Amino acid sequence: METTLRGVGVSHGVAIGEVRHMGTAVLEPPAKQITADEAEREQGRARQAVSAVAADLIARGQLAGGEAQHVLEAQAMIAEDPELMADVDRRIAVGSTAERGVYDAFAAYRDLLAGAGEYMAGRVADLDDVRNRIVARLLGVPMPGVPDSDEPYVLIARDLAPADTALLDPTLVLGFVTEEGGPTSHSAILARALGVPAIVALPGAGEIAEGTVIAVDGSTGDLFVEPTAEKRAELEAAAAERRAALAASSGPGATSDGHKVPLLANVGGPADVPAAVEAGAEGVGLFRTEFLFLDDSKKAPSEEKQIESYRKVLEAFPEGRVVVRVLDAGADKPLDFLTPADEPNPALGVRGLRSLLDHPDVLRTQLTALAKAAEGLPVYLEVMAPMVADRIDARAFADACREAGLKAKFGAMVEIPSAALRARSILQEVEFLSLGTNDLAQYAFAADRQVGAVSRLQDPWQPALLDLIAMSADAARAEGKSCGVCGEAASDPLLACVLTGLGVTSLSMGAASIPYVRATLAKYTLAQCERAAAAARAADSAEEARVAAQAVLSGE
């Protein structure tokens, strides 16, 4: 009998197929004691296993490329973290085996994250995956992972580590569902990059029996267990209609009555540019520069290295707009040379622009590198600061840009509710706003963006979040300036129409979402988008807001 479950849809499309479960194994080694004479040998085994796992993660990243490469290289850094390795060595020195020393050291680090307010809870899957890979290598057992199958299937897992997600074969894995995770977890980000339909934060999915036929709608978050023939036909027809609309859609983003809404791409570096160009991105709305800095957490990259990386992205969009976010370090992206190591709550501490203002030399070098990278290019360069709280922050950033000789527009990200509430004041210092809806939701609802248990409050359809977006857009309109969205909200085609109706002037998203958003926007007039936005804001919950907007756009 058909039953329906609902999680959080994080990657568009429909997948219908038989269930296969991610392989699992208990990788807790026995607490066996060694003698003092064996300690040096065991420490050597641990180091060899760590190096092998780090090399494997880097190799997987190189195979996958793009966003996945950055994520897996960050995982390799976790594996070789010197503090973790020092703890492993200490545990072995007092009698643990190599595998037990690794297991216990990672467990202690896990407890530290929980004690820091669980801001990094969304990275626990990454941490566990690295630990499991090292321990499996030391024990000489296979690493549990994606099942072997000659036939296409829908994958169900408790959670998916980036190393598994990055190398999924879309010809075999029709879609995936996880019990944990959130809309901004690494697995969700990589699913969108792969173009694989996906649902996260669906408790109980693991209880669906192997071989059961399910249908996954990655747009709505609905999972249908043993769908009827009528439901399958309905979903397949909807999917075919979407594909036809995508094939017919091209050119700049606009509503059906010609109101222009530039559709831009979110990129992490040069490797993400080809997909953005292929999708028809009109530029870059969010160039995340922190991945360049994560290559070495001990020191900032040289000015020359930064110039080389920035110029490759700028050259790809001649006459286009490229919005660069300066280094956003701290919280879940700590850097030894920049961020404090002992903050009780990193999410509410020294991160983003605050870190850069504490280290003006790092900010100055990055701004100078951007200025030099843009020399001689016809690109429209815009540079924005993350985590701007008020006008004082905005003025400090604008002054730093001018002192570095940067010939570009200076902007501020709206990720803190105070910035939305005082947007007009901030716009006295900068020339544009860009809404990071992931962090804005996190701070507005006191809901960690990485914790699946509070994913309801991370839903970008929450009316209170729409109010903050409208407030920012209204302020920009009053000042004659632009206000874009570069958070995950922009990748939802229906929500993109609502954001347009709220007065947002551009939308930036992962490249895979651009065709969906372009096709959907082209179906409606600006007036319809405005009515849908008003209906969504009048609702009392995210689900009611979504239904209300859909009803308006459907003419119901």
Cβ(390)–Cβ(425) below 8 Å: yes
Q: What are phi and psi of 96, to 5 degrees?
A: -80, 150
Q: Do β-strands 222-225 and 198-200 pair in parallel, antiparallel, or remain unpaired?
A: unpaired
In what order do the strands lie in the sheet containing 3-6? 3-6, 222-225, 213-217, 14-21, 153-157, 173-178, 198-200, 8-11
Continuous segment of H or E residues that includes residue 199 = strand 198-200
Count of residues making up the chain: 556
First-last CA distance in the chain: 30
Residues 491 and 489: their CA atoms lie apart, in Å, by: 5
Place of tokens 């990748």: 491
Q: Cα angle at 164 between 328 and 158, to 5 degrees?
A: 95
Cβ(367)–Cβ(402) below 8 Å: no
Which of 401, 483, 486, 497 does the annotation list as catalytic?
486
Question: How many C-alpha atoms does 507 have within 13 Å on its Cβ side?
Answer: 33
Residues 242 and 264: their CA atoms lie apart, in Å, by: 21
For the chain, the maximum distance between any two Cα atoms, rounded to a whole number of angstroms, is 79
Question: How many C-alpha atoms does 181 have within 13 Å on its Cβ side?
Answer: 32
Which of 12, 70, 186, 359 does the annotation list as catalytic?
186
Q: What are phi and psi of 153, to 5 degrees?
A: -155, 170
Tell me how crowded residue 41 is: count the other CB atoms within 10 A of its CB.
12
- Is 486 considered catalytic here? yes
- Torsion over CA of 146, 129, 202 and 223, rounded to 10 degrees? -20
Residues 153 and 17: their CA atoms lie apart, in Å, by: 5
Place of tokens 């879309």: 170
Residue 248 token pair: 């017919």
- Is 21 considered catalytic here? no
Write out the DSSP string of 38-92: GHHHHHHHHHHHHHHHHHHHHHHHHHH-HHHHHHHHHHHHHHT-HHHHHHHHHHH
Q: Which residues contact 510 (CB under 8 A, 6 or more apart)?
A: 67, 189, 192, 193, 265, 266, 491
**446: exposed, middle or buried (C-beta count within 10 Å: 0-12, 13-18, 19+)?**
exposed
Instruction: Give the active site residues.
Output: 186, 486
